Structure 1
């Protein structure tokens, strides 16, 4: 049973030192990043609560977020890498799940074939507009810049990825496919160990995760302080694991609602 955010105990909220967040339809609202969500990230960071976006979006997007946003780092392309900013040096550190550049290039060649095959076999789908700045995965658009496709088409895209030996996850806009045994949770473990020097499991009660879609399921299942924004209802029973709590508001406004709840508990 998913409880309203108000049921998140104040004592548990006061322990939270890390906010891990999906981006699309969790930080954003109707496709845009609202000022209230950005301000919430700033307020959390100023209070000593580290914010880490964890997204299926591209390396290009993640480079910008790591450089310009008030965040501790960014995990992107579904867990393919994390980027952090060395503020003193003004440089981005890039850490990939597959650290061999030749192996990543070989994976991209296989994905290039799927980029031709999948749109041909699933009419109405298309390679995502931000594919040009992706390094590890292939994103197939089913409702962002194309007319929304039925769930049967989404399932077909997933099946085509899996038939080729790839992993596939979907969100509100894209099906993302890649070669490799990683996901959002796996790279979060690496990030916490290497960047914060912490074991993720040992720190679980210090973490709040907020998201909205099926690619967040591994995170919902791991963290007791998992939160969904109100628009999580979009996926219905397709969410095989649900968060403990849900906000009243959708998207970035729901993220701001969580941020205020955490800050209030500290006050």
Structure 2
């Protein structure tokens, strides 16, 4: 884990040589979506090709994102993923024949109770932070709220931190992605989602084998995963958040976004040892 900027330059210079050896024998990948698999809101061609190559090689890939359930639903059939977890662990989409099974981290009654608190928190943020707007994908959200800071609207760092503070005052967990500030009620996280999916999909516990799973991300809201996964990788555009990061990934790719993800995919496939 890199925890000082000086070490970042060392990792950057070594990334191409270290990643293939270190990812030998990986069991699969967990990955963020926005600005990790996508660029400008669309799947980055190198990432699309890498996902297809991973599927052909029999490597499971599970995406965990802050994007809403409604946004994710059409993508599960279009992208070769074993599952897609939306809303930072609040909901999961699992392939089921030609469609998808939707499962939630919280029971229905709890989600109903939380919805009113989420609406009140969103209203307070919009009222008290000048320039704050809800993310355009908000209609598809079930278990969280999102405020746009870099996708269609622009908030500076002081505004972003004001949104985070207000969400926390309202009892929400708040994280900052590359495009949104997300807030939700509950203890679920990207990390709890990873444990949930391994158990749900394969009937196995993640803890004994977490050292052989890779996590790929790009933003401050990936820091929990960077700290938990020994095989953690940041795509190069993670450097945009250098001033805000307290937990760095083990490696950083040379390429940004989909090109960086493709570097990781090639290393994993090369290290399968089959």
- Within 1, Cα distance between the matches of 2:26 and 2:170? 40
Partner of 1:121: 128
The alignment's C-alpha RMSD in Å is 1.5
Q: After superposition, where does 1:15-26 map in structure 2 within 5 Å?
A: 15-26=25-36
By how many angstroms is 1:222 displaced? 0.7
Find 1:183's aligned residue among 183, 189, 199: 189
Gap change, CA 1:143 and 1:11, over 3 Å in 2: closer
Describe the SS at the equivalent of 1:210. strand
1:35 lines up with 2:42 in the alignment: no
Q: After superposition, where does 1:1-267 map in structure 2 within 5 Å?
A: 1-2=7-8, 3-4=11-12, 5-8=15-18, 10-87=20-97, 90-98=98-106, 100-146=107-153, 148-266=154-272
- Within 2, Cα distance between the matches of 1:105 and 1:226? 35
Q: Deviations over 1:8-47 (max 9, x none)?
A: 3544423112111101111112332122211110100110
Describe the SS at the equivalent of 1:38. helix
Describe the SS at the equivalent of 1:266. coil
Contact 1:211 1:229 in 2 (8 A): yes
- Within 2, Cα distance between the matches of 1:32 and 1:249? 17
By how many angstroms is 1:102 displaced? 2.1
Q: Which range moves more in the overlay, 191-200 or 179-188?
A: 191-200
Q: Deviations over 1:184-243 (max 9, x none)?
A: 001211111121122112111221111011111111001111000001111113111100
Q: Which runs of 5+ in 1 are unaligned?
A: none
Describe the SS at the equivalent of 2:241. helix
Contact 1:247 1:254 in 2 (8 A): yes
Describe the SS at the equivalent of 1:169. strand
By how many angstroms is 1:149 displaced? 1.5
Runs of 4+ residues deviating >6 angstroms: none
Q: Which runs of 5+ in 2 are unaligned?
A: 1-6
By how many angstroms is 1:76 displaced? 1.0
